[in-house]
């Protein structure tokens, strides 16, 4: 990105009336070749824009977010043009650029199959090579509605715009699409593209509307970058937690319980290890753990504001309406209100591994990543205003400790007041300032996400990065001046008066189910020893050595390890391959020599075939790995 400031309409010899594209040519031929879009006074725009007034100008290439977005937006138009060329009766819906690619939603007369994507992709490449130059033109709202009188989707979008709105279109050769832009100067820059998948998508995200076909694709400035991205997609498929969940006997999703995971023994073991670690870290950090009911009276959710801001499951008991909780906060608040607390108890840290339910749409469900029941590792911290910054720092340190153990780096995002919110301007200003200043004091890089806070307060979100570089929103810190007021929370201050506490809502894992899904993909199912549901397996060469194998298992179990014996009548080579496929860290083969010497033949994930080892030596090594969570 190159930053320029135009004064009196001039930059590097450029006169007023030049397009941004012409200005890039005056800087260098290379910049003109690489430039894709620009920010003019902070607004993303076409390179074909004419500049006459003083402004700040940022030239964007594929290395910049705005440049990539523009590049892939044009690729989405190429997709729509290719589909209309091959399937002329198809209706077009919307087609935005997204992170790492783009998509377009279509209404096909006949269902589209994956086998048809290569032909559409070939047509896109042919069109790109034509060197089409997307150009913008405007129509009045009435003219635009007439233009799209036979296209229900575009017609609907236009009809919702203000009466006096000028509608813009972009033309590529004979293809026209409703669009605000921007687009690249020439389609020939889009050389490396790939259509990746198709999915169903309801028009405007509502199940009341027709199901459309969404075609996904991606595009890069260089073929090598596209190849690397495709390999990343393939690796992600190999790591898909739904696939590994079945293979490693962790969990299953069943038709009889859509959105509700069934945990198998190995999966429940993994879940319990993750929770034991959570409890250990929280005990050390001074948290008290509680548990509150799954269902609570409707009036409680009306007081909290959740009834107006969340969809919830409900039921009736003796003609009284109850909501199944989508959040733990109100139940935790009721626990706080059981006693009159003193400032001497603050910060009062109360944690809950609460099971909550949310009626997610069936089309959004995705393995463990999007479910209808989650275990939320909430904590609600009650404190005085002057304790806010120190407590936020404590929470971030706790997240550091837990995430670093799993090998996760993370990025921070500060989200501010949304349109749909409760509370006074003063409370929101105080809470947002406290979070912002704390991050500045910590000298942590962060971005500001305007308008994406919780309805009751601003928040800091943690986006962890997995081993494939993907970002996942997990932990959160939400500062709340509003619910304590709504519920009349009090504490006894140092001067003996009753004051209202500040409340922090926070999670570390977020959704336990989703976090475990992330772990499965992060490790590709090859969990470190401390996390592995089965840490070792003993393989007797034949039935004659089952008794010795049992003694090995008993010894390892007495030391606290999770061990199994494979008693099947199979060849040892087959057993070893199966144990490898199950990602078991240690494989111990026992036969005549091992029984005579009181040893095991060791095959480990990291060391391969290590030969004969004494159990004492192996146990010491495994204890070290578990103790240090290696």
Q: Is 73 a catalytic residue?
A: no
Cα 62 → chain centroid = 23
Phi and psi at residue 563, to the nearest 5°: -130, 150
Instruction: Name the catalytic one among 242, 505, 514, 583.
Output: 505
| 228 contacts 171 by C-beta, under 8 angstroms | no
| 33 contacts 44 by C-beta, under 8 angstroms | no
Q: Provide Rg for the chain, Cα atoms.
A: 30
Q: How far apart are CA 482 and CA 426, in angstroms?
A: 11
- Tell me the C-alpha to C-alpha distance, in Å, between residue 482 and each of 426, 431, 435, 485, 500: 11, 10, 16, 5, 10
Q: Is 376 a catalytic residue?
A: yes
- How do beta strands 498-499 and 491-492 pair? antiparallel
- How do beta strands 608-614 and 50-51 pair? unpaired
Instruction: Name the catalytic one among 271, 306, 329, 417.
Output: 329
Q: What does the buried/exposed string (b/e) look like for 536-563 if buried means 16 or more CB atoms within 10 Å of the residue's CB? A: bbbbbbeeebeebbeebbeebeeeebbb
Q: Give the largest Cα separation in the chain, rounded.
A: 93
| 580 contacts 562 by C-beta, under 8 angstroms | no
Look at residue 64 and give its three-state secondary structure. Answer: coil
Evaluate the omega torsion of the peptide bond into residue 311 and state whether it is cis, within 30 degrees of 0: no
Phi and psi at residue 112, to the nearest 5°: -95, 140
Instruction: Name the catalytic one among 358, 522, 575, 582.
Output: 358
| 178 contacts 154 by C-beta, under 8 angstroms | yes
Where do the DSSP E strands lie in 64-210? 91-92, 97-98, 101-107, 135-139, 167-172, 175-178, 192-202
Q: Is 436 a catalytic residue?
A: no
Instruction: Name the catalytic one among 378, 461, 466, 566.
Output: 378
Which has the closest alpha carbon to 500: 331, 349, 330, 337? 337
Q: How far apart are CA 569 and CA 540, in angstroms?
A: 10
Contacts of 78 (CB under 8 A, 6+ apart): 124, 127, 128, 172, 187, 190, 193
Q: Is 357 a catalytic residue?
A: no
Instruction: Name the catalytic one among 81, 172, 376, 513.
Output: 376
| 581 contacts 554 by C-beta, under 8 angstroms | no
HEC-encoded secondary structure of 373-435: EEEEEEEEEEECHHHHHHHHHHHHHHHHHHHHHHCCEEEEEEECCCCCCCCCHHHHHHHHHHH
Q: Is 380 a catalytic residue?
A: yes
Total number of residues shown for the chain: 630
Evaluate the omega torsion of the peptide bond into residue 228 and state whether it is cis, within 30 degrees of 0: no
Q: How far apart are CA 531 and CA 203, in angstroms?
A: 42
Q: Is 329 a catalytic residue?
A: yes
Q: Is 378 a catalytic residue?
A: yes
Instruction: Name the catalytic one among 459, 514, 582, 583.
Output: 459
- How do beta strands 2-6 and 43-45 pair? unpaired
Instruction: Name the catalytic one among 349, 380, 522, 603.
Output: 380
Look at residue 277 and give its three-state secondary structure. Answer: helix
Active site residues: 329, 358, 376, 378, 380, 459, 505
């Amino acid at each position: 990105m190159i930053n320029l400031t135009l004064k009196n309409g001039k930059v590097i010899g450029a006169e007023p009336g030049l397009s941004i594209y012409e200005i890039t040519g005056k800087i260098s031929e290379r910049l003109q070749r690489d430039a894709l879009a620009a920010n003019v006074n902070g607004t993303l725009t076409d390179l074909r824009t004419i500049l006459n007034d003083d402004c700040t100008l940022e030239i964007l290439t594929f290395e910049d977010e705005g440049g990539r977005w523009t590049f892939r937006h044009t690729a989405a138009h190429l997709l729509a043009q290719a589909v209309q060329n091959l399937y002329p009766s198809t209706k077009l819906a919307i087609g935005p650029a997204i992170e790492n690619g783009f998509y377009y939603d279509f209404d096909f007369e006949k269902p589209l199959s994956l086998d048809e994507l290569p032909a559409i992709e070939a047509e896109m490449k042919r069109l790109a090579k034509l060197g089409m130059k997307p150009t913008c033109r405007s129509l009045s709202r009435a003219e635009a509605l007439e233009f799209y009188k036979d296209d229900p989707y575009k017609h609907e979008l236009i009809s919702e715009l203000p009466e006096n709105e000028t509608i813009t279109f972009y033309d590529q050769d004979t293809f026209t699409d409703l669009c605000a832009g921007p687009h690249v100067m020439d389609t020939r820059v889009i050389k490396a593209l790939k259509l990746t998948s198709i999915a169903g998508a309801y028009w405007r995200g509502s199940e009341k509307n027709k199901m459309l076909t969404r075609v996904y694709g991606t595009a890069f400035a260089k073929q090598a970058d596209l190849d690397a991205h495709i390999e990343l997609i393939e690796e992600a498929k190999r790591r898909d937690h739904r696939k590994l969940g079945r293979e490693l006997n962790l969990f299953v999703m069943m038709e009889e319980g859509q959105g509700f995971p069934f945990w198998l023994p190995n999966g429940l073991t993994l879940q319990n290890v993750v929770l034991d670690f959570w409890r250990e870290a929280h005990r050390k950090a001074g948290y008290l753990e509680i548990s509150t009911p799954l269902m609570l009276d409707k009036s409680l959710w009306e007081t909290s504001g959740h009834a107006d801001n969340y969809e919830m499951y409900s039921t009736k008991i003796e003609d009284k309406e109850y909501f199944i909780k989508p959040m733990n906060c109100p139940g935790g608040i009721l626990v706080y209100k059981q006693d009159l607390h003193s400032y001497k108890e603050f910060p009062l840290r109360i944690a809950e591994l609460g099971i909550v339910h949310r009626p997610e749409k069936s089309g959004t469900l995705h393995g463990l990543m999007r479910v209808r029941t989650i275990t939320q590792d909430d904590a609600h911290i009650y404190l005085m205003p002057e304790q806010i910054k120190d407590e936020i720092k404590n929470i971030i340190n706790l997240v550091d400790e837990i995430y670093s153990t799993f090998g996760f780096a993370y990025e921070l995002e500060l989200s501010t007041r949304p349109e749909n919110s409760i509370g006074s301007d003063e409370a929101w200003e105080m809470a947002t300032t406290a979070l912002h200043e704390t991050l500045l004091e910590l000298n942590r890089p962060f971005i500001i996400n305007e308008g994406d806070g919780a309805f009751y307060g601003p928040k800091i979100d943690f986006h962890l990065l997995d081993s494939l570089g993907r970002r996942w929103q997990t932990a959160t810190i939400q500062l709340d001046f509003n619910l304590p007021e709504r519920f009349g929370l009090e504490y006894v201050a140092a001067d003996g008066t009753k004051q209202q506490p500040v409340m922090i809502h926070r999670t570390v894992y977020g959704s336990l189910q989703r976090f475990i899904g992330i772990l499965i993909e992060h490790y590709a199912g090859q969990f470190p020893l401390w996390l592995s549901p089965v840490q070792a397996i003993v393989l007797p060469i034949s039935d004659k050595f089952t008794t010795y194998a049992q003694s090995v298992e008993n010894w390892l179990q007495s030391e606290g390890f999770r061990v199994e014996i494979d008693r099947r009548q199979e060849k040892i080579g087959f057993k070893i391959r199966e144990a490898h496929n199950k990602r078991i860290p240690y494989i111990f083969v026992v036969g005549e020599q091992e029984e005579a010497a009181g040893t095991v033949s060791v095959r480990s994930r990291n060391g391969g075939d290590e030969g004969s080892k004494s159990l004492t030596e192996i146990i010491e090594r495994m204890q070290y790995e578990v103790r240090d969570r290696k």
